[in-house]
Structure 1
Amino acid sequence: MKPLVRNAALSSYIELSQSLGIDPRALMKQVGLDPVGLAVQDRWIPGAAVAELLELSAAAARREDFGLLLAERRRFSNLGPISLVLREEPDARSAVRLLVRQERMYNEMLRSRLTEANGLATLKVSLALGEVREARQSVELAVGVLHGFLGVFLGARWQPLSVCFSHGAPHDMAAHRRFFGPVVEFDQEFNGIVFYATELDTPNTMSDPLLRGYARQYFDSLAVSEDTTELDRVRELIEVLLPTGRCSIEQVAGSLGVDRRTVHRHLATSGETFSSLVNATRTELAEQLVANPSRSLTEIAGLLGFSAPSAFSRWFRDQFGSSAREWRALRSDPGPVPN
């Protein structure tokens, strides 16, 4: 299966794109992603599509530092639920090791590794995209986010010994030097950050020892509940692909890096078919969308992947026993006011 990442990987993408004068909606649709879906930070989307989007955006904006500009806008909370646990770790070493060990909770294509030798600590980063693809912007985003993560624990004035990239230097290094300082290097053997190992002993000033046990218990329960199954993966991709009008089993299989028969086989073990899962997903989304009076029924038809409003109307009546307009009116009517 091809790796997935949380929507949070594109946190602030729309704002950054607009500030640089490029159209984020058009670029996202080009790679099969839905801008509206970014509102749900914990939804999973194809990692390769994110990597392609960042490269297209960098080219459109003529900014070789696009990934780094995105990293500058990241916040600690963008890591998702795991950030609550990391905040209570006793020191920087414990926090980094936990982040590396549980990276699949927030990004399945990220491969990071912490090593310590000869007084130095090296945090290496690589990406497993599941296919051959340019990923300069994604690499710089990942390294930039990890640099910012270390800064949270080591202080705003902290600076590593070296920040390394295996790709070549950009024409303008101003953003890289502003972000990393004068220690950034290109054409190196790996992507990552080198710093003194003793810095990992820095106590975590955010940590509350009384809360640490509760945070760990929460994390353990969360890790089990977020154990993503193949059915979950397919359902997530259906939600992502419906608004694009390209929600087919071939498209889902391609995003997962398998053939359509493999998808059919995985769904069959759960007693589902692709059609039944699409219908169930549409039904669940329709209840949420139609209940919102600020959305037009034509817009909802598009978000649910129908080629025309009339097709949506027929489907809705079959599923709910009334027209979408009647169903909405019943939900919005508070009923008679008692005397």
Structure 2
Amino acid sequence: MKPLARYAALNSYVEVSRALGIEPAGMMRGVGLDPAGIAVQDRWIPAAAVARLLEQSAAASGHQDFGLLLAERRRFSNLGPLSLVIREEPDVRSALTILIRHEHMYNEALRMRMAVLNGLATVRIGFELGDQTETRQAAELALGTLHRLLCGFLGSLWQPVAVCFAHRAPADTSTHRRIFGSAIKFEQEFNGITFYENDLDAPNKMSDPLMRTYAYQFLDSLEAPKDTSARERVRELIELLLPTGRCSVEQVARSLGVDRRTVHRQLADSGETFSSILRATRAELAANLVGNRRYTFTEIADLLSFSSPGNFSRWFRGHFGCSPSQWRSQQHRSG
């Protein structure tokens, strides 16, 4: 199955897109992502869709520095729960080791490796998306974010020895120079950042030794359930695809990088079918959405991919034994 990434990978995407004159919701729908889902930072989405969105947004906006503009807005917390652990590591070496070891906790497609040789440390990044999707913007976003992380540990005046990109230089390199200084190099053999080995031993001023044990216990509690089943991945994709009107077993299979027969076989191993998961997911979403007065029934019908509000109402009555309006009234009285 194709790797996933957290929605946090698109943090500030809406703000940057609008600032550059493109419409974020339409761009997201174009790659099969639900614009409403971006508010749920820990939800998992296909990593390839994120990479395609960044490339298409750069092209539509005419800004080859799109990924870097996103990176400039990155915060430590965008790493999710892992940030609570990294901030308690005693030095930069330990923090990077944890970041690399647990990269799958925020992006299953990202590959980071660190090597130390002749007094220099190099962190290389790459992507395994499962297809031939271009990753120029994803690479610039990842290196820009890594650079900000290192500056957080080493100080805002810190400068790397080199910041290497495998792709060609953009027509305008002003954003690259502003972020990385004069250390940028293009058309290199890899994407990565090189800095002095001594920087790895710089102490982390944020670290609290008494908190480190608790941070590791927290990390262990998160790691245990990470073995995501086929059923869970299919369910997550159904949630994402329903509002786009393209929720089919074929589309889910494409997002996972397999064929539909593989999806059916893997679900059968857990006693499920695509249809049974679709019905259960739709019912759970319907119950939550109808109970929320923020949404009209017409909007809910669209979000759940019904052809009309009438069809949605008939389905709802058949499933729950009452109309959507009766359900909403009951929920309001019981609340």
SS in 2 for 1:181: helix
| Corresponding position of 1:111 | 111
TM-fit CA distance, 1:271: 1.2
Task: Work out the CA distance in 2 between the residues paired with 1:217 and 1:227.
Answer: 18
Task: Work out the CA distance in 2 between the residues paired with 1:96 and 1:255.
Answer: 30
Task: Work out the CA distance in 1 between the residues paired with 2:334 and 2:99.
Answer: 48
Task: Work out the CA distance in 1 between the residues paired with 2:228 and 2:144.
Answer: 27
| Corresponding position of 1:48 | 48
Amino acid at match of 1:62: G
| Corresponding position of 2:151 | 151
Matches within 5 A, 1:101-140: 101-140=101-140
Residue 74 (structure 1) aligned with residue 74 (structure 2): yes
- After superposition, the C-alpha distances for 1:179-211 in whole angstroms (9 at most, x for unaligned) are 111111101111000000110101111111111
- After superposition, the C-alpha distances for 1:141-196 in whole angstroms (9 at most, x for unaligned) are 11111111111111111110000001000110110011111111101111000000
Matches within 5 A, 1:202-217: 202-217=202-217
SS in 2 for 1:333: helix
Task: Work out the CA distance in 2 between the residues paired with 1:165 and 1:307.
Answer: 47
| Corresponding position of 2:286 | 286
| Corresponding position of 2:23 | 23
SS in 2 for 1:159: coil
Contact 1:4–1:109 (8 Å) recurs in 2: yes
TM-fit CA distance, 1:90: 1.1
SS in 1 for 2:90: coil
- After superposition, the C-alpha distances for 1:206-257 in whole angstroms (9 at most, x for unaligned) are 1111111011011001111233222111111111101001000000000111
- After superposition, the C-alpha distances for 1:246-302 in whole angstroms (9 at most, x for unaligned) are 000000000111111111111111111101101111111112211111111111111
Amino acid at match of 2:237: L
Amino acid at match of 1:240: L
Task: Work out the CA distance in 1 between the residues paired with 2:172 and 2:26.
Answer: 27
Task: Work out the CA distance in 2 between the residues paired with 1:57 and 1:239.
Answer: 24
| Corresponding position of 2:304 | 304
Amino acid at match of 2:294: S
Task: Work out the CA distance in 2 between the residues paired with 1:180 and 1:310.
Answer: 56
SS in 2 for 1:326: helix
RMSD: 1.1
Task: Work out the CA distance in 1 between the residues paired with 2:99 and 2:228.
Answer: 18
| Corresponding position of 2:220 | 220
TM-fit CA distance, 1:334: 5.3
Contact 1:245–1:307 (8 Å) recurs in 2: no
Provide runs of 4+ in structure 1 moved above 4 Å. none
TM-fit CA distance, 1:304: 1.2
How many equivalent residue pairs?
335
Amino acid at match of 2:105: M
TM-fit CA distance, 1:310: 1.6
SS in 2 for 1:166: coil
Normalised TM-score (structure 2): 0.98
Amino acid at match of 1:197: E
TM-fit CA distance, 1:333: 2.3
| Corresponding position of 1:261 | 261
- After superposition, the C-alpha distances for 1:101-128 in whole angstroms (9 at most, x for unaligned) are 1101110110110111111000001111
Contact 1:70–1:141 (8 Å) recurs in 2: yes
| Corresponding position of 1:61 | 61
| Corresponding position of 2:322 | 322
SS in 2 for 1:8: helix
Which stretches in structure 1 are left out of the alignment for 5+ residues?
none
Task: Work out the CA distance in 1 between the residues paired with 2:215 and 2:334.
Answer: 41
Which stretches in structure 2 are left out of the alignment for 5+ residues?
none
Normalised TM-score (structure 1): 0.97
Task: Work out the CA distance in 1 between the residues paired with 2:176 and 2:288.
Answer: 43
Amino acid at match of 2:171: H
Identity of aligned pairs, percent? 63
Task: Work out the CA distance in 2 between the residues paired with 1:293 and 1:240.
Answer: 21
Amino acid at match of 1:172: D
SS in 1 for 2:182: coil
TM-fit CA distance, 1:332: 1.2
Contact 1:164–1:193 (8 Å) recurs in 2: yes
Contact 1:7–1:42 (8 Å) recurs in 2: yes
| Corresponding position of 2:180 | 180
| Corresponding position of 1:249 | 249
SS in 2 for 1:111: strand
| Corresponding position of 1:295 | 295
Amino acid at match of 2:275: S
Task: Work out the CA distance in 2 between the residues paired with 1:231 and 1:154.
Answer: 43
